[in-house]
Amino acid sequence: MARLVKQSLGQEVTRMLKRMIIDGELEPGQRLVEDRLAAELGISRTPLREALHRLEQEGLLQKRSAGGYVLRPFDAEEVEEAVQVRALLEARVAALAARRAAPGQVEALRANLTAFREAAARGDVVRLAELNTEFHLLLRAAGGSMLLARLLDEIEGVVERIIRALVPLREAGEWSDEDHARIVAAVVAGDAEGAAEAMRVHVLHGGDAVLDTLRQPDGEPDGARGAGAAGESGAAGTPAAAPAGRPSGKAAPKKP
């Protein structure tokens, strides 16, 4: 993999590790080995430690008393709280986008919607995840609120990791397509209230699917299925295997 440019290195490492967590490339209970990760990313341990500490603060990692970090377990109550907060923030972003979106940004949203439908028709789950992430980022850019973007960046890691673990992306793609279309239509019409409501319903839709799974007797609230399924993103699944060349954080393969 390409080595990171050493500008805002702590932020770059944080984003990369967060994406690995959301995409299921790091398994629940897997210990993150600093030396290994630092070598694979081509960085010193200082920015890596900063990133790990940041992700601990955001609720994605848990520090072990014996040293190192592991993915933090989650429960239904925490998921529900995170989804509710995200719904409020994303709804505000959509309302701002309806008021502020420039013509070029509207066209980008339309193009994203078209590409999303094409990927869904092909069953391309990797592309669906990419486009879903892009959709939410395009809306944030159109909304123009750095504060909301920053708050969502902090909370979405928890939500996305859980959604991808428990909701198959092909299933999520069916209602995501319809939800996205309603959001875009409201933005195009300059309907701030309609955009906010469509986004709120969209986020809660994904959250309800996760909560239904978590509350089933065979639900897996510890995220054990995270690497084997995919889910709606908002920033949204990825195949079980990590792409070649991406850091694993594992010191050496061995049985637990």
Q: How far apart are CA 38 and CA 181, in angstroms?
A: 42
| Residues composing the chain | 256
SS3 238: coil
How many CB atoms within 10 Å of residue 239?
16
**Same CATH fold, 76-214 and 9-71?**
no
What residues form DSSP beta bridges with 70? 62
Q: How far apart are CA 99 and CA 196, in angstroms?
A: 11
CATH class assigned to 76-214: mainly alpha
The whole-number pLDDT of residue 232 equals 40
The whole-number pLDDT of residue 182 equals 97
SS3 245: coil
The whole-number pLDDT of residue 5 equals 46
Kindly give the pairing relationship between strand 61-63 and strand 69-71: antiparallel
How does pLDDT run along the chain (256 residues), one tens digit per residue?
444 444 478 888 888 887 777 767 777 677 887 888 788 778 888 889 898 988 888 777 888 877 788 887 777 787 788 889 999 999 999 999 999 999 999 999 999 999 999 998 888 888 888 898 899 999 999 999 999 999 998 787 666 766 665 555 555 556 688 999 999 999 999 999 999 999 999 999 877 777 776 666 554 444 433 333 333 433 333 333 333 333 444 433 333 3
Model's pTM, two decimal places?
A: 0.66
Pull the structure tokens for residue 110: 């339309």
Torsion of CA 12, 108, 127, 54, to 10 degrees: 20
The whole-number pLDDT of residue 164 equals 62
How many CB atoms within 10 Å of residue 114?
11
CATH of region 9-71, choose from 1.10.10.10, 3.40.50.1010, 3.90.580.10, 3.30.70.20 = 1.10.10.10
Pull the structure tokens for residue 18: 């967060």
Pull the structure tokens for residue 183: 């959001």
SS3 29: coil
Q: How far apart are CA 173 and CA 180, in angstroms?
A: 10
Show me where the domains of the chain are located.
9-71, 76-214
Q: How far apart are CA 199 and CA 195, in angstroms?
A: 6
